[in-house]
Amino acid sequence: MSATSWEKQKDNTFVFKMSQPIPSYLIALAVGDIVSADVGPRSRVWAEPCLIEAAKKEYDGVIEEFLTVGEKLFGPYVWGRYDILFMPPSFPFGGMENPCLTFVTPCLLAGDRSLVDVIIHEISHSWFGNLVTNATWGEFWLNEGFTMYAQRRISTEVYGSAYTCLEAATGRALLRQHMDNTGEDHPLNKLRVVIEPGVNPDDTYNETPYEKGYCFVSYLAHLVGDQNKFDAFLQAYVNQFKFQSITADDTLGFFLEYFPELKEKGVESIPGFEFDRWLNTPGWPPYLPDLSPGEQLMKPADELAELWAADSLNMEAIEAVDITAWRTYQLVYFLDQVLQKSPLPEGNVERLSNMYPKISKALNAELRLRWCQIVLKNNLEAEYSKVKDFLHSQVRPWAALCTLLVHVQFITHQYPQVLLCRAALHLSIHPSTHPSTHPPVCTDSGGCPDPGAGPCT
């Protein structure tokens, strides 16, 4: 359980003790054959015995650095331990930041540490979300927008601004896609949403609180104009509201109180950027942080994608580009460019596959997803088995198939289900749902055919 301490008493009775007050949604209990291994001075990984070695290898020594940077930026880590529990594959989220013990998907075990930084997001919740909590789910951005900002501050310190901006650009592209899919004016594309009868609370869990929230926090930092001063504000904010559940009015009121010169200037009502507009108007963020430092990593990826899209491949130029040091989001960016240019001229994707086993044979789920999309869009039948394996490794193969096909633009608004069924038959994916699937997954058909429906013809 996510708790400060626990002890086993007789008759398999376990007693847990949590020293700090937490909101009820953060209480979580996992039951199973679970073992642990130390990976840092205040961190352990927990998993079923078959996964524990892989978990230890992946995370040994990495968590402490993230925690230390977080403490430097946002103040003391108050929860004592930071342990990670690897859930079974049916766990439907990337991670859940239960204090003392974050629950994560086993997808993070890429085997080469290429996804370890995903944990920075969950660690950032130790200050934003777990320590200062949104009082209502209508203001979920207070948890997630601040956490995205904190995550990218830690990432900037550890990996530099170029890589962090590249990752943030990926997030911005997801927000664009979400708003295009739902329509910018959708009432849930506000930071302060009204969850009333008829609104499915699950639908409020989308890119808006994360990425638009990140833009709003970045806008507040932009108003301050000095990173050190804004970091100091974040520490003061955490200290002011720790162990409390608050509203956006508390947050923004404290911001203006902390920076009286900005209050005097009336920054809350600058036309077009009014705090009220940020909170209560749906649509694209009025302010976008500058992500141009990411261009130094995007440029070589753009150029390489261009080379692979040529009718006649310039292998000399391609071989001159060394991608061995490219980290996950630079590779993701490269693959997204290749996907956009796909289908590539005949034979190019086969050569690309052979040239970069780091990509085409990756166990990293972000890379696998993109590679499968490229395989489908280029009709690379020789690698359909990889798509099939990937889909079968997902607990919700139908939803995964939807994701794959939406991205490769197989689906039209007119006949999505027919096309899905055809693709599924082609790849031998059956519309079944595993009985042990987590309840929210069972209802998450994501616009796919009813999982209980008969065979598609």
- Binding site: which residues? 121, 125, 144
- Pairwise CA distance, residues 36 & 59, whole Å: 12
- With contact defined as beta carbons under 8 Å apart, do 294 and 155 qualify? no
Specify whether the CB–CB gap between 318 and 355 falls below 8 A.
Answer: yes
Q: Name the token pair of 215.
A: 């833009």
Q: How far is the CB of 83 from Zn ion (least distance, A)?
A: 18
| Nearer of residues 82 and 308 to Zn ion, judged by Cβ | 82
Give the C-alpha separation, 210 to 229, whole Å. Answer: 23
Measured from the CB of residue 70, what is the shortest distance to Zn ion in angstroms? 14
For residue 129, the minimal CB distance to Zn ion (Å) is: 6
Pair 97, 122: CB distance under 8 Å:
yes
The least CB distance from residue 143 to Zn ion, in Å, is 7
Q: How far is the CB of 420 from Zn ion (least distance, A)?
A: 30
- Annotated active-site residue in 82, 149, 210, 333: 210
Q: CB nearer to Zn ion: give 144 or 444.
A: 144
Which DSSP string corresponds to 138-203?
A: GGTHHHHHHHHHHHHHHHHHHH-HHHHHHHHHHHHHHHHHHHHHH-TT-GGGSSS----TT--GGG
User: Whose Cβ is closer to Zn ion: residue 147's or residue 161's?
Assistant: 147
**Binding map of Zn ion across residues 145-164, x = CB under 5 A, - = no contact:** --x-----------------
Catalytic-residue membership of 316:
no
Nearer of residues 83 and 144 to Zn ion, judged by Cβ: 144
At residue 71, the 3 state secondary structure works out as: helix
Residue 392 burial (C-beta neighbours within 10 Å; 0-12, 13-18, 19+):
middle
Q: Which is nearer to Zn ion, 134 or 147 (CB)?
A: 147
**Residues that constitute the known binding site for Zn(2+):** 121, 125, 144
Beta bridge partners of 347: none
Does residue 237 carry a catalytic annotation? no
Alpha-carbon 262 to chain mean position: 33
C-alpha–C-alpha distance, residues 150 and 127, integer Å = 9
Could you tell me how many residues of this chain bind Zn ion (CB under 5 A)?
2
**What is the CB neighbour count within 10 angstroms for residue 134?**
23
Residues 6+ apart with CB under 8 A from 249: none
Binding mask 119-148 for Zn ion (x = CB under 5 A): -------------------------x--x-
DSSP 9-70: ETTTEEEEE--S---GGG-----SS-EEEEEETTEEEEE-HHHHHHHHHHHTTTHHHHHHHH
Catalytic residue among 58, 97, 122, 366: 122
Q: Restricting to residues 350-369, which ones interact with Zn ion according to CB under 5 A? A: none
Query: Please, which residue, 127 or 259, has the CB nearer to Zn ion?
Result: 127
**SS3 assignment, position 101:** strand
Shortest gap between Cβ of 118 and Zn ion (angstroms)?
11
Which H or E element spans position 96?
strand 95-96
Nearer CB in complex with Zn ion: 139/144: 144
CB 96 → Zn ion: shortest distance, Å? 9
Which residues 182-201 are close enough to bind Zn ion by CB under 5 A? none
Cα–Cα distance measured from residue 117 to residue 175, given in angstroms and rounded to the nearest whole number: 21
Q: Can you give the binding site for Zn ion, defined by CB under 5 A? A: 144, 147
Active-site residue set = 122, 210
